[in-house]
Amino acid sequence: MANVLVFTELHDGKVKPVTLEILGKLAGQTTDVAVIGDLSSEEVAVLAKHGAANVHKLKGSNLDKYSPEGYANALANFIKSKSYDYVFGGATSMGKDLLPRLATQFDAGLASDVVNFTMDGGVFAGTRPLFAGKCLAKVELTGPKPHFVSIRPNALGMTEGLTAGAGAAHDVAADAGNIRAAIAEIVKAASSKVDLTEANIIVSGGRAMKSAENFKILEELADTIGATVGASRAAVDSGFAPHAMQVGQTGKTVAPSLYIACGISGAIQHLAGMRTSKVIVAINTDPDAPIFTKADYGIVGDLFTIVPIMKEEFKKLLGK
């Protein structure tokens, strides 16, 4: 059995789902959770339900806003005071920034963007995509401990039959140390939708959308089923959508439970960013489009006809 720490990020005061995915997968290990800042008793209870033995809330000056140096220094000092074998976190924007910095401070190994793993005998063995998802590599970690691992959001899924932990909450005095650059202000995006990398359902449009205005069709479908809207590189290059919405090799890598591709041909660059989706639905007028070779369900037809029909059918099913 390994002694494990999971670092959790917060979104509007709530634990990010990737943390719960990791905790579920770590059943059988002694697992603590660390968070920078305060956490409500309700969220502590959620972590306990998913197996957290202890919840450490790191608090201190210069930690009210994220900074790579401050968070890394605070976490490093806390980790040094314990005897953790592994430190896990989400492969989110923050995780990809923070965990490599932490691993460097410990001169330790990092397995990044892992999509599955086992902990047989308390020893980590993971799977991560290489070469834009063309192959999967089995990875292990050696050298000084703790070892660091970042997990792709939505890749593991939620575990059923959870084993609850004690979930004892502890306030920990933390020191951000010397910070050379601090974030003065964080401006939230106008959209309240979940970020693409963490979305459970995504509706994406390609060049066949024809214009930025036509993305309203996808937004209406997304609003109905609680999805986030994405776009292919072709749609972004055509000016139909901003780069922040791009899914693919030069955009964001996603792993939702449901991915609906509308008017997307399925070029390898796009597939690289969404091939790990649990269920893929493709809508395209070309029956020979490459996307159909990867899709679980395919509809040959005009998206401008199909998508509104899907929206209405979903409304009926969801009672909206």
| pLDDT tens track for 272-287 | 999 889 999 999 999 9
Report which of residues 190 and 248 the model is more confident about.
248
Burial of 196 per CB tally in 10 Å (0-12, 13-18, 19+): buried
Residue 135 pLDDT greater than 90, yes or no: no
Q: Can you tell me the mean pLDDT for 182-186?
A: 76
CB 127 within 8 A of CB 167: no
Q: Does 146 share its domain with 230?
A: no
Residue 250 pLDDT greater than 70, yes or no: yes
Q: Does 97 share its domain with 47?
A: yes
Rg (CA), the chain: 21
- Both tokens of 224, joined, read 């109905």
| pLDDT tens track for 186-243 | 777 666 678 898 899 999 999 999 999 999 999 999 999 999 999 999 999 999 999 9
Q: Does 27 share its domain with 152?
A: yes
* Distance (Å, whole) CA 284 – CA 302: 7
Instruction: Please report, for the domain that includes residue 137, its CATH number.
Output: 3.40.50.620
157 backbone dihedrals φ, ψ, rounded to 5°: 80, 165
pLDDT, residue 134, reads 79
pLDDT, residue 100, reads 96
Q: Does 168 share its domain with 209?
A: no
pLDDT, residue 264, reads 97
Residue 23 pLDDT greater than 70, yes or no: yes
| pLDDT tens track for 159-177 | 887 778 888 999 999 988 8
* Distance (Å, whole) CA 257 – CA 158: 11
- Both tokens of 40, joined, read 């409500």
Percentage of the chain exceeding pLDDT 90: 78
Closest among 287, 288, 229, 236 to 261, alpha carbons compared: 229
Q: Does 22 share its domain with 156?
A: yes
pLDDT, residue 192, reads 64
Instruction: Please report, for the domain that includes residue 285, its CATH number.
Output: 3.40.50.1220
pLDDT, residue 79, reads 96
In a domain, 140, yes or no: yes
Closest among 88, 7, 57 to 174, alpha carbons compared: 57
Q: Does 167 share its domain with 202?
A: no
Which sign, positive or negative, has the C-alpha torsion 253, 254, 260, 266? positive
Q: Within the chain, where are the H helices?
A: 17-25, 41-49, 68-80, 93-105, 215-225, 233-237, 268-274, 291-294, 303-318
Q: Can you tell me the mean pLDDT for 67-73?
A: 93
Looking at every residue in the chain, the average pLDDT score rounds to: 92
3-state helix, strand, coil in the chain (%, to 5): 30, 25, 45
pLDDT, residue 113, reads 93
What's the pTM value of the predicted model, to 2 decimals?
A: 0.83
Question: Residue 47's domain spans which residues?
Answer: 3-173
Residue type, 180: R
Q: Can you tell me the mean pLDDT for 53-79?
A: 93
| CA 62 remoteness from chain centre | 26
Query: Residue holding tokens 């033995």?
Result: 53
CB 126 within 8 A of CB 164: no
Residue 150 pLDDT greater than 70, yes or no: yes
Residue 289 pLDDT greater than 70, yes or no: yes
CB 273 within 8 A of CB 259: no
pLDDT, residue 304, reads 97
Q: Can you tell me the mean pLDDT for 177-190?
A: 76
